[in-house]
Every structure is written in C-alpha cells, then in structure tokens.
C-alpha cells in the first residue's frame, strides 16, 4: 500500500511524458494493489486514482499502435477491477465522465479484440446503474455496438454484446437509437439462422435475440417506428413467428403483438387484419399440457386488443370468449390473471356477452373460488372485478341469481372495503343493482356479510371518496325494501351520519344525503 501513492504520482507525471516503460511498471503496481480488493480499492479511491487513469485514457485514446493499445487495455482492466460489483465506485466513474471516453475507445479500436472485450465488460458493469443510461444515450453507443455485432461470428462475443444491449435497451431513448442503428435487422437474421438448430448455443442465441426484440418494442417511439402502420416488414416477420413450431418464437411473437397493441389505432388495425384468429389458433395448440409462458403471452395480447370499444364485438363474434374459457381449469396464477383480464375487457358495455358469461355456472364458481386466492392478490382482485362487471354490464336477474347461488355475494361486499377506490366503487354499483333487481334472493347473504355495518363505516369515514359516499347512500335506500336489512339500518342510527353529509362540498353527495335523509325519516 505504501507504494501506491508513489505509483499514482508517477502515473500523474507519465501522463505528461508518456514513456511506456514507466507506465507499464506503474500499472503493474496498481493492479497488484487492486488484487487485494477492498483495501486496494479504498487506497486507490483516496488517492484519486480513478481520475488519473481516466485522464490517461482520454489522452491516449486516439493512438492506435499496438503498444499503446496494450496500455489502454490494462487501463480499462484497472477501472473494471476497481469498480467491479461496487455501485458507489461505478457511480463515481460515471460522474467522472468515463462513459463517453469508453464509447470513443470502442469506436477507434474496434479492430483490437482484447481492448474491445475490455470495453464491453466495462459497459456491462456500468449499464446496470440507472444513472448511466442518460450518459450512454448522449453518445453513439447504439451505432458502435450494432456495428460490432454485425462483425461477430463467435457465439461468446455475441453473448458479451447481448449482455450490454439488454440493460441499455431498458432506456426508451436508447431503444430508439438501437432500432435506428439497425439492430432489429440483425436480430431477425439471427432468428432465421438459428430457428431450426438444436445446438445449445444456437437455442440460447435465438432466445436472447427474440427476447431483446420484444424489449425494443416496449418503447412507444421504437414500437411505432417498427409497426409502420401495420405495413412494416418487422411487424410482418413477427406475425410469422406465431404459427411457428418453435415455442420460443411463439412466445416472442405473442409478446411482440401484446407490445404493438398499446394504442387503439394499432389494435383496430390488427383485429381487422386477422391477428385474433392467429392468436386463437396458438392458444388452441396449448390447451392440453401447454406451455404456460405461451398461454400467458397470447392471453396478454388478446387482452390488449380487446381494449378499444370497436374491437370488442368483433372479438366476441370471432369466438374469443370460448377460446379463453378453455383455460378455466389452469392452476397457473399468471394464466388465470390474464384470462380474467381478457374476459373483463371483452364484456365492458357488452350486455349480451356479460349475460351469457354471467349465467355460466362453471365460470362463476371458478371466480368465487379465485376470490379466495389470498396468495395471489392479482388473481383475487381480477376475480372480484369480473364478478362485479358481469352484474354491472348485464343488469340481468339471471346473472345475479347465478352469483348468489355460487356464493359470490360475500366477495362483492368485501370488495367494497378494498384499498382501491375503483374496486370499491365497482362493488357498490354491483351491490346496488343486486338490491334493485333481486333483493329477496340476496338479502340473507347481504345480511351475513355485514353489508349494512360496512356501509355505515364507509359513510362515517372522512377519508372515503365522494363517489363512495354517494353510492353507499344509493345502496342504503335500495336495501330498505328488505325487512331484516331495514331493521339493521334503523339500529345503526344512519340518520346522524347522513345528515352531516348534507353540507358536503361535493354537490352530488350533498343532494343524495338530502334524499337519503328523507327516505330514512319516512321509513323510520
């Protein structure tokens, strides 16, 4: 350690005289110090070693003779040893502006395999940090990496580049730069070359390449650029992956469609051009002992496509609900979650479809079962929301009877206490419809689920949203038609709570409070 500060001083001086022998000797000492890991690192850190090394890299960057390139490689190696698996030291290097220097190095010395490799390892380390992404985006890293990638034929070298591309491609600006630099064409070529191979390296590369392709589609700008109004060659190529026999390609194809389906115009175009039938065929191939990730991806795509109003009727008449219901027996929460979301999107404002599904006893019983899936909050939430949606969109007595008989009422009452206002509201609207259409059938379940007490709590709680207070009062009025529930309302002194709400700042709440107060007074 004593030699270290001398070494760093020498390094500072050699930055001026640039004699290679003295530089190499200094570097040997430095690398030895860093080999002692934490102790060495902190000594280099305290002596400002990183800045000295970065200054050397900058001054030597443009010289391409072999001896200098060897020095540059060692300098890069030193920075890697220094910052390896240490977030704060990596952040320090980023703040010192090492990224533009390393990108420049890569561009100038792309013929030198050892130096290129060292730059890639450095990028891999630094790209994991969020703070690096902005700096990378301000360089021509995308162009340099794609140029390098096109030249590589060795699997290991390509893997190294992939390891840098994946974290960088999480940044939307860099996604677009990579698309503009032609990375997608490279990835499509890899897919074409490797799709029929059973060699392990090729299978890995096919997976990495198609995964990266899907990642590039997560950026709105990069996705739209590749969609090209549905005419883009990339979009067409991705479509051809869906009927493929390769599971990885089916998966990537379905995920890519889900990513393209992130705005209404794209969704409408895809549905009009037959994508739904392709996805249904894919799902059909995976009903029995199918691939769970493919099921999940195809359902995700169908769910997104069902969001625009104009697509719902088209998808319903294409038979999407029947295709989706084949997965009701799935025991996989991710598949259950997407299945529920797809059905909920499809029946939104589609009364006939909601009624048809709501009378499907098998479906309703499964929903009630999933409403108790406490280990899977997403599945539980979506099941509750679909139960409520079946009632709200169908407004059908038969649907309500089916849900009552299957034991679904208690879940709708619990849903009214959700921490999410949107779910509370959906539950209250569904319960108000039950009270208006089938109170006699549901009253026992409403009573045992303690609905009246819950409504009292929601109205008394100052934190309840205005729409929750409003719908709770509408529901109280509807419950007066049941003798046992009416008695509960009287016992709980609702008048006090409701009369306070007449002066509520929200006009609708204040008006409803007056109406409710009149109703309670007349019927007391």
Predicted confidence (pLDDT) per residue in 441-476, tens digit: 999 999 999 999 999 999 999 899 999 999 999 999
Which pLDDT band holds residue 26 (cuts at 50, 70, 90)?
low
Residue 11 has pLDDT above 60, yes or no: no
What's the pLDDT at 23? 59
Which pLDDT band holds residue 4 (cuts at 50, 70, 90)?
low
Distances (CA, A) of 214 to 63, 291, 420, 499: 39, 18, 31, 56
pLDDT 10s digits, 119-142? 898 888 888 888 888 889 999 999
Query: In a 3-state reduction of DSSP, which class is residue 53?
Result: helix
Residue 8 has pLDDT above 60, yes or no: no
Between 240 and 15, name the one with better pLDDT: 240
What gap in Å lies between CA 179 and CA 171, rounded to an integer?
12
What's the pLDDT at 339? 96
What gap in Å lies between CA 278 and CA 101, rounded to an integer?
48
Q: How many CA atoms lie within 13 A of 138 on its CB side?
A: 10
Q: Which of 177-181, 285-289, 338-342, 390-394 has the lowest mean pLDDT?
A: 285-289
What's the pLDDT at 165? 92
Between 202 and 275, name the one with better pLDDT: 275
Q: How many CA atoms lie within 13 A of 188 on its CB side?
A: 17
66 Cβ neighbours under 8 A, 6+ residues apart: none
335 close to 327: Cβ distance less than 8 angstroms? yes
Between 37 and 479, name the one with better pLDDT: 479
Q: Which string of b and e fits 6-36 if b means at least 16 CB within 10 Å? A: ebbebbbebbeeeeeeebeebbebbeebbee
Q: Write out the DSSP string of 338-403.
A: HHHHHHHHHTTT-HHHHHHHHT-HHHHHHHHHHTT-TT-HHHHHHHHHHHHHHHHHH--HHHHHHH
Could you tell me the pTM of the whole model? 0.84
96 close to 50: Cβ distance less than 8 angstroms? yes
Q: What is the torsion angle, in degrees rounded to the nearest 10, for the CA atoms of residue 297, residue 300, residue 301 and residue 307?
A: 180
Which pLDDT band holds residue 1 (cuts at 50, 70, 90)?
very low
pLDDT 10s digits, 412-441? 999 999 999 999 999 999 999 999 999 999
Residue 383 has pLDDT above 60, yes or no: yes
Measure the CA angle with vertex 91, ends 90 and 95; round to 5°: 120
What's the pLDDT at 20? 54
Which pLDDT band holds residue 386 (cuts at 50, 70, 90)?
very high
What's the pLDDT at 56? 81
115 close to 73: Cβ distance less than 8 angstroms? yes
The proportion of the chain whose per-residue pLDDT surpasses 90, expressed as a percent, equals 58
Q: Write out the DSSP string of 23-42.
A: HHHHHHHHHHHHHTTHHHHH
What gap in Å lies between CA 46 and CA 354, rounded to an integer?
69
What's the pLDDT at 44? 76
What's the pLDDT at 69? 85
Q: Map tokens 């999940």 to a residue.
A: 296
What gap in Å lies between CA 367 and CA 317, rounded to an integer?
23
Which pLDDT band holds residue 6 (cuts at 50, 70, 90)?
low
Residue 307 has pLDDT above 80, yes or no: yes
What's the pLDDT at 252? 93
pLDDT 10s digits, 236-256? 899 999 999 999 999 999 999
Residue 19 has pLDDT above 70, yes or no: no
What gap in Å lies between CA 166 and CA 24, rounded to an integer?
35
What gap in Å lies between CA 30 and CA 43, rounded to an integer?
10
What gap in Å lies between CA 44 and CA 51, rounded to an integer?
10
pLDDT 10s digits, 143-167? 999 999 988 888 888 899 999 999 9
Region 299-308: mean pLDDT is 96
The mean of the pLDDT values for the chain is 89
What gap in Å lies between CA 75 and CA 54, rounded to an integer?
8
């Amino acid at each position: 350690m004593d030699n270290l500060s001398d070494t760093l001083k020498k390094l500072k001086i050699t930055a001026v005289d640039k004699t290679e022998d003295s530089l190499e000797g200094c570097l040997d000492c430095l690398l030895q110090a860093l080999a002692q890991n934490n102790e060495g690192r902190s000594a280099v850190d305290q002596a400002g070693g990183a800045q000295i090394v970065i200054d050397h890299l900058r001054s030597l960057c443009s010289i391409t003779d072999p001896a200098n390139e060897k020095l540059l490689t060692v300098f890069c190696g030193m920075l890697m040893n220094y910052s390896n698996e240490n977030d704060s030291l990596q952040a320090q290097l980023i703040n010192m502006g090492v990224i533009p220097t390393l990108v420049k190095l890569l561009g100038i010395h792309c013929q030198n395999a050892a130096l290129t490799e060292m730059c890639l390892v450095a990028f891999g380390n630094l790209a994991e940090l969020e703070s690096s992404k902005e700096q990378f985006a301000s360089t021509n890293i995308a162009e340099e990496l794609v140029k390098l990638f096109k030249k590589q034929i060795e699997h290991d070298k390509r893997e190294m580049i992939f390891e840098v591309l994946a974290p960088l491609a999480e940044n939307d600006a860099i996604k677009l730069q990579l698309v503009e630099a032609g990375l997608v064409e490279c990835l499509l070529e890899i897919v074409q070359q490797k799709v029929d191979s059973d060699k392990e390296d090729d299978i890995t590369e096919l997976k990495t390449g198609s995964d990266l392709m899907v990642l590039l589609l997560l950026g709105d700008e990069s996705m739209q650029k590749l969609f090209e109004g549905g005419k883009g060659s990339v979009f067409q190529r991705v479509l051809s992956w869906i009927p493929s026999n390769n599971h990885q390609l089916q998966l990537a194809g379905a995920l890519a469609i889900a990513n393209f389906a992130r705005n209404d115009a794209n969704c409408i175009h895809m549905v009009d051009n037959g994508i739904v039938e392709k996805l249904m065929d894919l799902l059909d191939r995976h009903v029995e002992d199918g691939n769970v990730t493919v099921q999940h991806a195809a359902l995700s795509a169908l769910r997104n496509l069902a969001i625009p109003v104009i697509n719902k009727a088209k998808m319903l008449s294409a038979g999407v609900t029947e295709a989706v219901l084949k997965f009701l027996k799935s025991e996989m929460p991710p598949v259950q979650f997407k299945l529920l979301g797809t059905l909920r999107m499809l029946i939104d404002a589609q009364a006939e479809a909601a009624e048809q599904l709501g009378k499907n006893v098998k479906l309703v019983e499964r929903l009630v079962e999933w409403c108790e899936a406490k280990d899977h909050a997403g599945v539980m939430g979506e099941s509750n929301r679909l139960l409520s949606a079946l009632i709200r969109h169908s407004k059908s007595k038969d649907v309500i009877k089916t849900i009552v008989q299957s034991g679904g009422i208690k879940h709708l009452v619990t849903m009214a206490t959700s921490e999410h206002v949107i779910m509370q509201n959906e539950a209250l609207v569904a319960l108000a419809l039950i009270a208006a259409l089938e109170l006699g059938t549901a009253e026992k379940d409403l009573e045992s689920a303690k609905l009246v007490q819950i409504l009292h709590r929601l109205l008394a709680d100052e934190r309840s949203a205005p729409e929750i207070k409003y719908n709770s009062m509408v529901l109280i009025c509807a419950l007066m038609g049941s003798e046992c529930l009416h008695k509960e309302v009287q016992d709980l002194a609702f008048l006090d709570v409701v009369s306070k709400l007449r002066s509520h700042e929200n006009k609708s709440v204040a008006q409803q409070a007056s109406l409710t107060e009149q109703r309670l007074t007349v019927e007391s």
